[in-house]
């Protein structure tokens, strides 16, 4: 049995392309053209088309797309998960809950 843990490490470019692909999928589910999606999100058609092709877009543009797709709330959890440097950091933050009150 293999005990090696596999990590999926993506580059920023790959993540951007994956996001663009998911947006395109959602657009097609809604039966919208690229022009329709650009209009709905308040972006220029060329900007939206470039986003779907390359994943390149400004943060504001991505938020506008999220708003147009009724998915803006998905951005609220971005960067909210605490990152730990070691197992000691995780353990030091755990609080011990008492099972009984103090004796008098």
pLDDT in tens, 10-30: 899 999 999 999 999 999 999
pLDDT in tens, 82-91: 776 666 665 6
Is residue 95 domain-resident?
no
Domain that holds residue 70: 12-75
Is residue 30 domain-resident?
yes
pLDDT in tens, 42-98: 999 999 999 999 999 999 999 999 999 999 999 998 888 777 666 666 566 665 555
Q: How many domains does the chain contain in total?
A: 1
> Is the model's pLDDT at 6 over the cut of 70?
no
61 Cβ neighbours under 8 A, 6+ residues apart: 41, 43, 47, 51
CA 92 distance to own-chain centroid: 29
Is residue 82 domain-resident?
no
The reply to whether the predicted model has a pTM over 0.75 is no
Is residue 22 domain-resident?
yes
CATH number at residue 30: 1.10.260.40
Is residue 53 domain-resident?
yes
Is residue 33 domain-resident?
yes
């Amino acid at each position: 049995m293999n005990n090696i843990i596999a990590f999926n490490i993506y580059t920023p470019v790959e993540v951007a392309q994956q996001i663009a692909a998911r947006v395109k999928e959602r657009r097609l589910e809604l039966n919208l053209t690229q022009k329709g999606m650009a209009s709905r999100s308040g972006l220029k058609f060329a900007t939206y088309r470039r986003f779907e092709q390359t994943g390149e877009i400004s943060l504001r543009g991505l938020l506008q797309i999220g708003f147009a797709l009724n998915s803006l709330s998905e951005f609220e959890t971005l960067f909210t998960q605490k990152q730990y440097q070691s197992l000691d950091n995780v353990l030091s933050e755990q609080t011990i809950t008492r099972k009984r009150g103090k004796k008098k």
